[in-house]
Copies of this chain bind each other. A is one copy, B any other.
């Protein structure tokens, strides 16, 4: 092999400045100068096969990860083996923020399809964000946004009924997919009914039944993991308490 070929193919693309996710990811709002420095920081990628774990709860925390391609779930579990999916992450979203709190990850991150993440060494990110106000501010916004998202999930888990939960889930998913240039009305679920159920505080049978009901009611077409949204407004009405 020649020297030039020994360079990993990813090396050419590991650059936030030319990444097509830069408007969704950490670099949002950064200027040319900041971006160049960020490119130096985010120098490596990591491939995670479907079913594999990016990090486990308890692992020492070193880096944040930005999803480049693929799809992840994060889940926490209690001592007695209870398990809760805390989120699903897609391209441009950050993984690992939980680890900052005590230098260990406190949840598992599992790839639900073959995925690729950008590795962001955390201490270097702190260094760089001391230098660049915009980066610092953007990073804080991302953490804050995660907190706000979590509060929304609490609202869902604490006060919504099964149909409302699933409707809210689907609308959230399609909205994020749309922001990434995918269809807002047709999607393929990367997670099982059980994983959806865990996220929504429901059993997989309830998730399945609710999908069927949505189909009967004309909101969706459901064929296993293929979902087509027929009546988005109807789902939206469900989430707001139109039926109460």
Contacts and interface: CB of A to CB of B under 8 A. Distances in A.
Contacts of A200: 158
Given A140-B126, A146-B147, A147-B147, A155 B240 contact: no
Interface of A: 76-84, 86, 97-102, 106-107, 126, 129-131, 133, 136-137, 140-141, 143-148, 150-155, 157-160, 198-201, 240-242, 244
* Copies of this subunit: 2
A144 B99 contact: yes
B130 A97 contact: no
A84 B159 contact: yes
B151 A106 contact: yes
11 contacts: A76-B151, A80-B240, A82-B155, A84-B159, A98-B144, A100-B140, A100-B141, A126-B140, A150-B154, A154-B154, A157-B201
Given A99-B144, A101-B141, A79 B240 contact: yes
Contacts of A107: 151
Nearest to A127: B133
- A contact face: mostly helix, strand, loop, or mixed: helix
Nearest to A81: B241
A75 to B, nearest CB: 9
Contacts of A78: 155, 240
Contact of A101 (B100, B106, B144): B144
Contacts of A83: 159
Contacts of A101: 141, 144-145, 147-148
Contacts of A154: 76, 84, 86, 150, 153-154, 157
A201 B154 CA distance: 9
Query: Which of the listed residues A81, A106, A151, A152 has the most CB atoms from chain B within 10 Å of its own CB?
Result: A151
A129 B135 CA distance: 13
A180 to B, nearest CB: 20
A97 B126 CA distance: 19
Nearest to A78: B155
A24 to B, nearest CB: 15
Contacts of A106: 148, 151
A160 B106 CA distance: 19
A10 to B, nearest CB: 28
A126 B130 contact: no
Contacts of A157: 154, 157-158, 201
